[in-house]
Structures are given as structure tokens and as C-alpha cells.
């Protein structure tokens, strides 16, 4: 059983790559961003709460996100392994995930990061914003706020996983297929 964290700045291509990796390695894909967007679309209480934060480009509070993620894992008891996309995004989330997996006699196998320059990613997100309807992709100020959130709260996770000897990084710039190939090279060696 392998459990992989797909890591990277906003727009680095986590969701794009997860679509390929989940098939290739038979993993259950859990994207906290997608789950929040699903809840917003379906007007749930969780969606209403998350929307306030996501619209501004802020992270949704840890307690809400952690609880949601744990119930998604619990809902997939026969999974052959998980691909965590966009989670954890804070040290508190990473700690909670480690403890939670431990209660199931499991652990994170590796964290694989997609590396890319902020300016390229801002352009990617603005481009996606033209068609995605995502309010957090349409305003450069909100996008920049997402990078600030990343730098303050998410970037420290690199150290967190490095200290556990579980951190791997690949170049996230190139064609989608090239990036999938780079990620596969890392995952095949795990």
C-alpha cells in the first residue's frame, strides 16, 4: 500500500497530474479543493463555510479540513492507497494526517512536489480563470494572496517531510506528459 502526498504551489499542476497518477498506481484520489468545490456547488453547510475563505484565496481552517479529509479516508476502507492532493497544507494538517494514518497502521510513503516559478503559475491560474468560473483564479490580488498563504503556512511542510526522509521534488514545468513521467520515475522507486 502506498500513500502519496502531491505537493506544490497553487496551480503547480497537482490536480492535473493526480488524474494520471491515480489510474497508473490504482490510488484513491482525495483533493480537498475538489471536495470543497463539490460542497459549494451543492450548497452544503460545509460549502458555505469554505466559500468565504476560498473566494479570498485564504486557506480553509484546519479543524474543518482535517475532519473532512478523515471522513473521506474512512469512506474508502478498501482503498489500495491514497493520493492526497492539496492536503496537507499546514503543519497541523500534516501532524493530524500522520496520527490518523497511524491509527490505521499506515503512513505516508512519500511527498512528491511539483516545482515551478510563481510568475509562470500566476499566468496559468489567470488563464484558467478565463474559463473555469473559479473566483479564486480571476483576480490577480487573490492569486497573490494564495501564494502568501502558501509561503507562510504550506512551505514549512517541505522541511517537515524532509526530516522524515520522505520529500522528493520534480520540475513542474514542461508538458503534462513530461511532468507525469518525472513523477512516475520517483514513485516507481518507492
Q: Residues with catalytic annotation?
A: 14, 89, 128, 134, 146
Report the 10 Å Cβ neighbour count for 48.
11
Alpha helices in 27-175 (DSSP H): 32-41, 45-54, 62-74, 91-102, 118-132, 140-149, 156-163
What's the min distance (Å) between Cβ of 168 and ligand B4P?
17
Among 25, 47, 51, 53, binds ligand B4P (CB under 6 A): 53
Alpha-carbon distance values, 75 to 43, 72, 119, 150, 190 (Å): 21, 5, 38, 28, 26
Q: Which stretch binds ligand B4P (CB under 6 A): 70-78, 85-93, 96-104, 162-170?
A: 85-93
User: Residue 69 corresponds to which cell in the numbers above?
Assistant: 479529509
Among 82, 87, 147, 161, binds ligand B4P (CB under 6 A): 87
Half-sphere exposure of 121 (CA within 13 A, CB side): 20
Binders of ligand B4P among residues 94 to 123 (CB under 6 A) are: none
Contacts for 117 with CB less than 8 Å, ≥ 6 apart = 173
Among 2, 16, 40, 164, binds ligand B4P (CB under 6 A): 16
For residues 137 and 167, which CB has a smaller minimum distance to ligand B4P in the complex? 137
For residues 145 and 164, which CB has a smaller minimum distance to ligand B4P in the complex? 145
For residues 20 and 25, which CB has a smaller minimum distance to ligand B4P in the complex? 20
Binders of ligand B4P among residues 140 to 179 (CB under 6 A) are: 146, 174-176, 179
Cell 521534488 belongs to residue? 169
Quick check: 136 and 57 in contact, CB under 8 A?
A: yes
> What residue ranges bind ligand B4P (CB under 6 A)?
8, 10-16, 32-33, 36, 53-54, 57-60, 65, 86-87, 89, 93, 124, 128, 136, 146, 174-176, 179
Amino acid at each position: 500500500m502506498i500513500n502519496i502526498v502531491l505537493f506544490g504551489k497553487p496551480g503547480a499542476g497537482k490536480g492535473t497530474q493526480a488524474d494520471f497518477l491515480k489510474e497508473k498506481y490504482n490510488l484513491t484520489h482525495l483533493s480537498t479543493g475538489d471536495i470543497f468545490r463539490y460542497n459549494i456547488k451543492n450548497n452544503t453547510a460545509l460549502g458555505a463555510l469554505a466559500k468565504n475563505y476560498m473566494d479570498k484565496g485564504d486557506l480553509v481552517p484546519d479543524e474543518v479540513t482535517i475532519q473532512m479529509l478523515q471522513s473521506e479516508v474512512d469512506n474508502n476502507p478498501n482503498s489500495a492507497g491514497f493520493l492526497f492532493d492539496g492536503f496537507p497544507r499546514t503543519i497541523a494538517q500534516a501532524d493530524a494526517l500522520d496520527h490518523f494514518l497511524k491509527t490505521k497502521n499506515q503512513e505516508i510513503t512519500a511527498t512528491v512536489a511539483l516545482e515551478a516559478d510563481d510568475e509562470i503559475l500566476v499566468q496559468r491560474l489567470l488563464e484558467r480563470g478565463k474559463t473555469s468560473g473559479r473566483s479564486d483564479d480571476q483576480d490577480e490580488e487573490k492569486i497573490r494572496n494564495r501564494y502568501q498563504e502558501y509561503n507562510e503556512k504550506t512551505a514549512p511542510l517541505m522541511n517537515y517531510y524532509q526530516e522524515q526522509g520522505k520529500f522528493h521534488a520534480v520540475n513542474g514545468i514542461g508538458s503534462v506528459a513530461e511532468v507525469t513521467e518525472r513523477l512516475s520515475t520517483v514513485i516507481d522507486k518507492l
